[in-house]
Amino acid sequence: MNAPHKCSATVLPDYHQPLEVRELEVPPVDDGGIIVKIDRATICGTDHHITLGALAPISKTPCILGHEMVGKIEAQGKGREVDVAGTPITTGDRLIWAYSYCGKCYYCAVAHEPTLCTNFTPYGYADSTIHPYVIGGFSQYNYILPGCHVVKVPDEVPSHWASSASCALRTIMHATDRVGGIRPSDTVVVQGSGPVGLYGVVVARAMGAKNVINFGAPDARLQVATAFGADQTCNIETTDNAQRAELIMQMTDGRGADVV
């Protein structure tokens, strides 16, 4: 394998404690696994919540924070020749990925809710003293488990966009699927102007929504929402519920929003 046997990682030793740089083992790659060199990792609000212990007891310490990342393939185990879409992958290709789920428990096989998998391994809040150690974005190298779906990042997509999209865009795509999609006649209200909300504006516009309204704050975020395709924005810090409802009614001839 090309990856070193050890690497540096930024570790949260315990909740409410300062981060530490530690040297951790990079294990040999197993069948179906992949070793990547981290190219870019972005920070999610969840990372902050983890440091405060908000995800305990699901989260474990010491852990390597970071679940939004892009990695370049350094080594591949047998059986890992393509990504989840069937695109061939090889050394040097950039990948994004999420958590590892078993595909066999009730939530995976029956309920089709893999986020509730009873055997999943999370990235960004797993115990870094347990094999495979390097499963978090704030590290030089990462071990992609055999159960992780991976996506090859197209050459034209910068790593910083791909990294943030691996969490926020994935989240909003799932939400859009759950509401049944978006039609060209729809007025879509996106509540929030954080990363998920801003990607919600992008997705609604890309799916052809007639009107896209973004409620959020501060004004700087709303300016980004406009640049991303919002027809109208509304600052929640300077309006009340009645004013926001009136804005929606004015834009829809009194019909209201189709998707929120």
pLDDT of residue 98: 85
32-79 residue pLDDT tens: 999 999 999 999 999 999 999 999 988 999 999 999 999 999 999 999
pLDDT of residue 33: 96
pLDDT of residue 2: 63
β-strands 187-191, 211-216 pairing:
parallel
What is the Cβ-side half-sphere exposure of residue 211, based on CA atoms within 13 angstroms? Answer: 18
Mean pLDDT calculated for residue range 198-216: 97
pLDDT for residue 137 is more than 60: yes
Same fold, 6-159 and 179-251: no
pLDDT for residue 231 is more than 70: yes
pLDDT of residue 191: 97
Q: How far apart are CA 218 and CA 178, in angstroms?
A: 28
Whole-prediction pTM value? 0.89
**Domain ranges, ordered by start, for the chain:** 6-159, 179-251
Instruction: Identify each DSSP E strand in 159-210 by its residue range.
Output: 187-191
Map tokens 């504006």 to a residue.
Answer: 201
* Collapsed DSSP state (helix, strand, coil) of residue 8: strand
Mean pLDDT calculated for residue range 148-175: 95
CATH of 179-251 among 3.40.50.300, 3.40.50.720, 3.40.1440.10, 3.40.190.120? 3.40.50.720
Mean pLDDT calculated for residue range 14-42: 97
Mean pLDDT calculated for residue range 173-187: 93
pLDDT of residue 1: 53
Q: How far apart are CA 7 and CA 202, in angstroms?
A: 37
Length of the chain: 260
Q: How far apart are CA 249 and CA 25, in angstroms?
A: 58
pLDDT of residue 120: 87
Which of 212, 175, 220 lies closest to 193, judged by CA?
Answer: 220
Q: How far is CA 194 from the centre of its chain?
A: 13
Q: How far apart are CA 10 and CA 31, in angstroms?
A: 27
Q: How far apart are CA 168 and CA 194, in angstroms?
A: 9
Average pLDDT taken over every residue of the chain: 95
Q: How far apart are CA 178 and CA 244, in angstroms?
A: 25
CATH of 6-159 among 1.10.10.60, 3.90.180.10, 3.20.20.70, 3.30.565.10? 3.90.180.10
- Cα torsion 215, 157, 186, 239 to 10°: value is 10
Q: How far apart are CA 24 and CA 127, in angstroms?
A: 12
